[in-house]
Each structure stands twice: as structure tokens, then as C-alpha cells.
A and B are shown apart, each in its own frame.
Chain A
């Protein structure tokens, strides 16, 4: 196999890893933010919940930033097109994301009811909205997006933002993503929290896990009737990365299941997703919190790889000009760039994972309300 093709495939896999890391770590923060008003009935409880995630939200958020940077570098045309085509929701995503760091740092620094209540709402919005948008992006991409390119590679949008904002399938994917984040956030609150936060978080997390499993099943049935995209022209995986002049692409209902039908072993991905959600929920019922947390990560990995496998090699199909669809073959960076990026990823990802684990280890143990309200460094 050509080196360039191998690099493209490696980066497609790394894209999946990145999206999974983002979903697990940022999703966990978002889940805590969404649940804040519900697991904490008074100010002291809410501060306790906030300080459970307090030492980690900033590090976790870098997954989101790295997501932006890595897609920019490894899939420049995908970055350029998807962020612009989804402009309205991307901007809403940014608005809600930028509220969060400020909310963490500022909420407890003023002792006034209205001030804190305002920031608590900011946590709810900035927790729930990004997760819904995150899931909805997957839904929209599965359905195909209206865009085409001019000869210089400039994109042109062919559909109104309403069509991807008010898309029932995408909204359903958004709710699933929110459910998984509530599962992950709730599980982390159980790990570090004491009563009454613990029991409330357990209830929400269990509901999140079950709801996600139901939507995952419904989504699977929906996708089996959804229009999928298939190459009909000759495909050259080592092609120069440009969406212009690519092979012909046809649209068939149910085509997203082709990869599964051709390679039945791949069904392991959705199975993993279900195992994560269902066994995870069971684990929480049995108070097996650490196992539950890791099964939440498995649920995300299963879900995201299910979508990735269904679409491979498509990344963002064009519904209005299918032959200009973005794929793993036509939207990556150059071989030289992918090589350098791979080098940095191989060196730094293990380093990042080790110090992140160490940070969680240092801050291990239950977070108690009495220490929070007396600790000058707490949120």
C-alpha cells in the first residue's frame, strides 16, 4: 500500500479517536454542567458538584480545541467547508462554549443569589447545547449536506441553515449525544460526590444510558432506510487531495449498511455501543462507578465508530453535488504534513494521557461540601 494511502487511513482512524476523546472528556464536563441545577438543590451542593469537575474541565476542554486544530491541519478542506456550511450552529456552539470557562471562574466569586443563578443557567445552556449540536452534526453529515466547490476550492452553500437546524434525524442524534454526556457526567459525579449528589447523579446517569441505547436502536433502523452514498466511478485512494473532478457517486437508500454487509465482523462496533450503554447502566445500578465510567467511554467509541464505519470512506457527502463529497481520499492534508502530524501525535498523545491520568489521581477521592465552602481556592 502506498504510504500516502496508509497515512490517510491512519488519520481517519485518529479523527475517530479524537472525536471519541472529545466526546468522553468534554461530554463529561458538559454532563456535569447540564446536571448542575438538578443534582444541586442549594448553593453549597452546586458548588460541590462544580468543584468535582473543577480541577479538570480546563484540561478536558483542550480536546475540543485540539479537535479544531487537528481537523484544520489533517483535513483542511473538511475544516474549511464544514465549519462554514454549518455557520449558524457553529456560532451557537461557540457562544455556548465560551460561556463555560467564564462561568467556572466567576460564578462563586460573588456572593449574590441572582449572580450565581445566572451562571447556573449559563452552565445548563453551555452544557446541553454543545452536546446537542455535536450529535446533530453527525446526523446531518449522515444525511448529506448541500454544498459544492468552485474551481479554486472555495465552497458554496446550497441549502438554508434551517434545513440542518430543523432536521428531525439530526435532532434525535443530538438528544442521544446529550444523553451520553449526562451518563458520563453523572458517573463522574458519583465517583467524586457524596450524598445527596451521589443518588441524584446516579438516577440521571442511568436514565441517560438507557435513553441513549433506545435512540441508538431507533437511529440504526432509521439509517437502514436513509440515503447513503456509494462510489460508482473508479476510486484512487492515493489521489491528490481535492474534491474537484473526483469519481462519480450514487445515492441509494440503505447504502450506509454496505460496509457492514460486506464485512460482517464490523457489526462489533454497534454491539460495543450497546454493551457500553446497557452494561454501563447496570454497573451504575450496582454502584460499580469506575467500571461504569469506562463503559461510558466504550459507548462513545462504539457509537462514533459505528457512524465512521457506515460512512467510510465518506466524511461529509454533498447532497447537491455528490461527486464533490468529501472523503478520506480527497480531503486530507499532504503526505508530508500528515507524516509530521503523526510524529507529533505519537510523541505527545501518550504524554498527554499520562499527565491527565496523574492529574485525576492527584485530585482523587470524594469532594466534601464542608471543604469546598471553606477552601479559598475552590470554585
Chain B
């Protein structure tokens, strides 16, 4: 069976990465803002102070602008597995599709139905009922993240399913293992709290802008205090959870952890340095310009003082026997698919655990046919495939570092802001306030690089150890891919332009207290986005 055109695979990967990264520009802010909105409205219901209702409504409006585009781009994700990754969908749909369906049933329906009431129900619901709705939206958006990351967790560490040679796919066999996969759980908490950090930075940055321009000062000061404290606690939690994820990767995805750390050779002594910076070269399999701190790497990764950490070159050699087994497994499986005989089934079962490595070897086999490899050619095929078992180190190494450095920067910024906010000295620190405003996109950037670390570091697999990415794509033509890529690029560029324009417009406009606003032309409170002139005009 011929492989899919590598150009089509690359374009499919490009499209998935673009659409996922774009979707993920909006998700963290949604996760964080729903929690902050719930906190603000709770304060409003308890204290009955109008400023907290204004806060909830103002931040709610900005949340709405962000949420719409998050929903829109999320549609693409739910369908893109089918439109562009048909082999993946066939191969793991029985277990991977399930959390996506449950997400719809349990979380997304709730979030989307109640978000309508959250925006439109202020005058129709009692205060506690509206608050309950806001809490349900926050709960649902985070539940949604949970199920999506359970699905992603399966790609990182396929637990809860086994391969069935009669259906040629992974079949679901343990709900508990799927849901409580350590990778999924750690990643869920890490990701949703990263969303809280994003929301906190957003609220803090926009409020800092109000202080800098001497507007809405009470509103801004209260918003900053809430956001700085919430942000500090959240960032500390994110970093801790990130460490837990790293520990899991050390156990479950050694190639990813070695790529993250730019580690080519297995560590032999506990003095191995943790690299602050380096230029990893994937061709020569070595680093240049290393700057590291000795004695940090081993305790950081293994949580011990002496355990060795496998390096990429050694991991590649260790894959050799798996590749040999994998080729046998795939050949037996192909035989079994036509004959259904007991002998080839037994042969397959013997090497089943390494079948993914057989799929991986196909691109290096003569005529892409694993059956055609002669004993003389075998060592070359294995050697070539060994090199394919590791991810791109340069990308993984730097994506991780950018995310991590940003994380530590956030801790410092939130800590300073919380300190000055509690001492009521915010307005004297104009530099810090400016820093907050320009840092609004930084947590989103950190989230994007987190995604790149997790997904680029998982390569060459789409399902770790079972299905290589180049086998997982749909067999489209290049023309199809060019058509969809151009369309997505155009539409998404227009959307982000409109989004940013509205965000800036409404953030600059600032909060408006509807209950105290001057009536306009006898028509009631000042509408926030219909200018008085417009309101009057549409009456005529």
C-alpha cells in the first residue's frame, strides 16, 4: 500500500498546526475569564456594590468578543480529524472520539446554552440565579478542557485501548484508564490554570491602562487586586504542574524529555548541566553554544540525585530491535488481513507492541513495501528508521524554554503588582503598569509554545508508539490542501483583524455603569455600543 504524498502530509500538518494554534489563541482567555467573571459576580452578589456588576459586565463584554471566535475556530477542530486525518480517525476513533463526544454532551452544550442566558438574562433572572448561570459557564468551559485533554492525553500516552487485528484499529477497553491517564490529568490542570493566568494578565493589563490614562480608577484598582492575587497563585500552580508533566514525560515519552532538554547523550553523572540556552543541530545531532547550570538537570527531571536520563542518540539505538519487531508485526498483520489464518495472527501477537515502529519503517523500505526488504537491506532500513524516531530538537528545546522563561516572568510581575496593589501604591509605578499592559499577549504566547512543546515533542507519532503522523493523514491531493489552506488563512486573518479592532475599541471605551448613566433622548440607559445618535436614528 503506497504512502500518502509527503507534500500532502506536510500541508495537512501545517493546516492542523495553524488552525489549532489559532484556536488556542482564544481558548486560554475563555478558561480564565469565566473563572474571573464568576469571582467578580460573586463579590457583586455578596456586597451589592455596583462597581462589581460593572466589572462583571465590562469584562464579560470583552470575554464575549473573544469567546465568539473561540467557538468558531473550535468548529474546525472537531471536524478536521475527519477531513484531514482519516487514518488517525479510523485507527483511534473508537477511543479518541469518545471523550470528544462526551465533551459535547456534558460540557459544551451547558456552556453554550448558559452563555446566552449570561449575556441576555441580566433582567430576566434573579441575582443568585444569574450568578449560578455564570458559575455553570465557568464549570462547563473547564470541563470542556478536561475532556479535550483526555483525548489529547490518549495521543501522548495511549492507555485504555488495545489494537484489534480484526477491525484494524485501537479499541476502547478501559474507561477508567482513559479518563485517569496521568498525562491527561496533569495536562488538564496545567492547561486550564494557564488559562487562569491568561485571564488574570488580561484583566490586569487593561486595568493598568486605565490607571495610566487616569480613568475608571476605582474600577481598575479593584480589578488589578483581584487579578494580581489570582494570577500569582495560578502561575505558581502552573509551574508546579509543569514540573509534574515533565516527570511523567520522563517515564512515558523519553524522546520528548530528551528533546526538551537538548540531551543527545545519556547522562552519566549527577553533575549534568541543565541548559539555559543552546543551539541544537538536528543534522549533526549535537549542540553548540551551550550555557548550562551543573547539577540541576538530574534532580529536575528524575526527582532523584543519581538516576541517568537517556539521551536521544542512545534512544535511537535502543529503537533498533523495536523496528525489527515492528516490521515483522506489520508484515504478519498484512498477511492476516487477507488470509485470517492462525499462524500469522500468532506471529502478529508476538510483535504487536512494536507495530508502530513497523509503520514508521515503511517510508524507508524499498518501494515503500515492508515485505520487499531483503536481509541485506534490513540494517540500512533499521538505521534510517532509528533516526526517524526522535522529534525536532531545536523546535522542542526552544518552545519549552520560551514557555518556561515567560512563566517565571509572570510570577515576578504578578508578585510585584499584588504587593503594590495591597500597599495602594500602584499609580506611582508607571513603568510596572506599562509592563502589565504590554504583557497582555505574553501568557497567550506561553500557551502556544506549551502546545508546540507537547505536540512537536510527540513527533514522529500522532499516537505515541502506535501510529506515525505521516501514516495518519487523509489521502488528499495537493490541490485540495492548497484550497483549504488559502481559505483558512484568508478567513482567519480577517477574523483576527476584526477581533483585535473590537477588543481595542471596547477596552479603550472602558466600563460604563448602566444603572447610573444619563438617560439619552428619553430612551433609558446609555447603550454601550449603540451611540446615542444611532439609537435615535433607528427609532425614526
- Contacting pair B119 A334 (CB below 8 A): no
A172 at the interface (CB under 8 A from B): no
- Contacting pair B87 A373 (CB below 8 A): no
When chains A and B are docked, how far (Å) is the Cα of A80 from the Cα of B502?
A: 38
Q: Could you say which of B83, B90, B487, B523 contacts A76, with CB atoms under 8 Å apart?
A: B90
Return the CB mask of A198-226 against B: 1 if under 8 Å, else 0. 00000000000000000000000000000
A253 at the interface (CB under 8 A from B): no
Residue of B nearest to A150 (CB): B1
Q: Enumerate chain A residues within 8 angstroms of B92, measured Cβ to Cβ.
A: 76
- Contacting pair B483 A80 (CB below 8 A): no
- Contacting pair A373 B171 (CB below 8 A): no
- Contacting pair A83 B83 (CB below 8 A): yes
- Contacting pair A362 B538 (CB below 8 A): no
When chains A and B are docked, how far (Å) is the Cα of A198 from the Cα of B111?
A: 31
When chains A and B are docked, how far (Å) is the Cα of A98 from the Cα of B476?
A: 23
- Contacting pair A359 B113 (CB below 8 A): yes
| Least Cβ–Cβ distance between A70 and chain B, in angstroms | 5
Return the CB mask of B70-93 against A: 1 if under 8 Å, else 0. 011111101101111011111111
Q: Enumerate chain B residues within 8 angstroms of A349, measured Cβ to Cβ.
A: 105
| Least Cβ–Cβ distance between B384 and chain A, in angstroms | 21
When chains A and B are docked, how far (Å) is the Cα of A55 from the Cα of B97?
A: 29
Q: Enumerate chain A residues within 8 angstroms of B78, measured Cβ to Cβ.
A: 65, 68-69, 72
When chains A and B are docked, how far (Å) is the Cα of A111 from the Cα of B97?
A: 42
- Contacting pair B484 A69 (CB below 8 A): no
| Least Cβ–Cβ distance between A167 and chain B, in angstroms | 18
Residue of A nearest to B530 (CB): A373
A2 at the interface (CB under 8 A from B): no
Q: Enumerate chain A residues within 8 angstroms of B119, measured Cβ to Cβ.
A: 55, 377
B48 at the interface (CB under 8 A from A): no
B399 at the interface (CB under 8 A from A): no
B308 at the interface (CB under 8 A from A): no
When A69-B103, A77-B93, A111-B529 are in contact, do A98 and B73 touch as well, CB less than 8 Å? yes
Return the CB mask of B43-73 against A: 1 if under 8 Å, else 0. 0000000000000010000001101110111
Q: Could you say which of B79, B101, B474, B499 contacts A341, with CB atoms under 8 Å apart?
A: B101
- Contacting pair A242 B166 (CB below 8 A): yes
| Least Cβ–Cβ distance between B65 and chain A, in angstroms | 6
Q: Enumerate chain A residues within 8 angstroms of B338, measured Cβ to Cβ.
A: 151
- Contacting pair A62 B72 (CB below 8 A): no
- Contacting pair B72 A58 (CB below 8 A): no
B441 at the interface (CB under 8 A from A): no
Residue of A nearest to B502 (CB): A109
- Contacting pair A81 B86 (CB below 8 A): yes
Q: Enumerate chain B residues within 8 angstroms of A88, measured Cβ to Cβ.
A: 480, 483
> In the complex, which residues 167-221 of chain A have their Cβ closer than 8 Å to any Cβ of chain B?
none
Q: Enumerate chain B residues within 8 angstroms of A69, measured Cβ to Cβ.
A: 78, 97, 100-101, 103-104
- Contacting pair A333 B93 (CB below 8 A): yes
- Contacting pair B86 A352 (CB below 8 A): no
**A54, A101, A348, most chain B CB atoms within 10 A:** A101
Q: Could you say which of B75, B82, B106, B108 contacts A82, with CB atoms under 8 Å apart?
A: B82
- Contacting pair A102 B166 (CB below 8 A): no
Interface stretch (choices A153-161, A274-282, A294-302, A312-320): A153-161
Residue of B nearest to A82 (CB): B82
> In the complex, which residues 335-379 of chain A have their Cβ closer than 8 Å to any Cβ of chain B?
336-337, 340-341, 344-345, 348-349, 352, 355-356, 359, 362-363, 369-370, 373-378
When A58-B71, A58-B115, A152-B168 are in contact, do A80 and B101 touch as well, CB less than 8 Å? no
Query: Number of B residues contacting the other chain (C-beta, 8 Å)?
Result: 99
Query: Number of A residues contacting the other chain (C-beta, 8 Å)?
Result: 87
When chains A and B are docked, how far (Å) is the Cα of A5 from the Cα of B65?
A: 47
- Contacting pair B502 A110 (CB below 8 A): yes
Q: Enumerate chain A residues within 8 angstroms of B168, measured Cβ to Cβ.
A: 151-153, 242, 244
Q: Enumerate chain A residues within 8 angstroms of B175, measured Cβ to Cβ.
A: 340
When A72-B81, A242-B166 are in contact, do A359 and B116 touch as well, CB less than 8 Å? yes
- Contacting pair A362 B124 (CB below 8 A): yes
Q: Could you say which of A77, A80, A101, A363 contacts B120, with CB atoms under 8 Å apart?
A: A363
Q: Enumerate chain B residues within 8 angstroms of A352, measured Cβ to Cβ.
A: 105, 109-110, 113
- Contacting pair B167 A240 (CB below 8 A): yes
| Least Cβ–Cβ distance between A21 and chain B, in angstroms | 11
When A242-B166, A336-B172, A337-B94 are in contact, do A359 and B82 touch as well, CB less than 8 Å? no
- Contacting pair B110 A355 (CB below 8 A): yes
When A73-B94, A91-B484, A374-B524 are in contact, do A79 and B89 touch as well, CB less than 8 Å? yes
B531 at the interface (CB under 8 A from A): yes
| Least Cβ–Cβ distance between A140 and chain B, in angstroms | 16
A61 at the interface (CB under 8 A from B): yes
- Contacting pair A344 B102 (CB below 8 A): yes
- Contacting pair A73 B529 (CB below 8 A): no
- Contacting pair B98 A341 (CB below 8 A): yes
- Contacting pair A340 B172 (CB below 8 A): yes
Helix, strand, loop or mixed for chain B's interface? helix
- Contacting pair A101 B104 (CB below 8 A): no
A56 at the interface (CB under 8 A from B): yes
B514 at the interface (CB under 8 A from A): yes
| Least Cβ–Cβ distance between B486 and chain A, in angstroms | 11
- Contacting pair A65 B169 (CB below 8 A): no
Return the CB mask of B481-523 against A: 1 if under 8 Å, else 0. 0011001100100010011011001100000101000000001
- Contacting pair A94 B79 (CB below 8 A): yes
| Least Cβ–Cβ distance between B514 and chain A, in angstroms | 6
A145 at the interface (CB under 8 A from B): no
- Contacting pair B171 A336 (CB below 8 A): yes
B125 at the interface (CB under 8 A from A): yes
When chains A and B are docked, how far (Å) is the Cα of A65 from the Cα of B175?
A: 22
Q: Could you say which of A64, A110, A245 contacts B75, with CB atoms under 8 Å apart?
A: A64
A9 at the interface (CB under 8 A from B): no
When chains A and B are docked, how far (Å) is the Cα of A42 from the Cα of B166?
A: 61
- Contacting pair B95 A337 (CB below 8 A): yes
When chains A and B are docked, how far (Å) is the Cα of A71 from the Cα of B172?
A: 16
B534 at the interface (CB under 8 A from A): yes
> In the complex, which residues 317-333 of chain A have their Cβ closer than 8 Å to any Cβ of chain B?
333
Residue of A nearest to B71 (CB): A101
- Contacting pair A336 B173 (CB below 8 A): yes
- Contacting pair B72 A80 (CB below 8 A): no
Q: Could you say which of B169, B173, B506 contacts A153, with CB atoms under 8 Å apart?
A: B169
Q: Enumerate chain B residues within 8 angstroms of A61, measured Cβ to Cβ.
A: 71, 75, 112
A138 at the interface (CB under 8 A from B): no
When chains A and B are docked, how far (Å) is the Cα of A334 from the Cα of B97?
A: 12
B271 at the interface (CB under 8 A from A): no
Q: Could you say which of B101, B167, B523 contacts A72, with CB atoms under 8 Å apart?
A: B101
Residue of A nearest to B65 (CB): A105
Q: Enumerate chain B residues within 8 angstroms of A244, measured Cβ to Cβ.
A: 168, 337
When chains A and B are docked, how far (Å) is the Cα of A359 from the Cα of B110?
A: 11
> What 6 pairs between A and B have smallest CB-CB spacing?
A76-B93, A83-B82, A73-B97, A72-B97, A105-B68, A59-B113
Q: List 22 A-B contacts (CB under 8 A).
A: A54-B120, A55-B121, A61-B71, A62-B109, A66-B109, A69-B97, A76-B89, A79-B81, A79-B89, A80-B82, A84-B474, A87-B474, A101-B69, A106-B499, A111-B534, A151-B1, A151-B168, A152-B471, A153-B169, A333-B97, A336-B172, A363-B120
On A, residues with C-beta under 8 Å from B are: 42-44, 47, 54-59, 61-62, 64-66, 68-74, 76-77, 79-84, 87-88, 90-91, 94-95, 97-102, 104-106, 108-111, 150-157, 161, 240-242, 244-245, 333-334, 336-337, 340-341, 344-345, 348-349, 352, 355-356, 359, 362-363, 369-370, 373-378
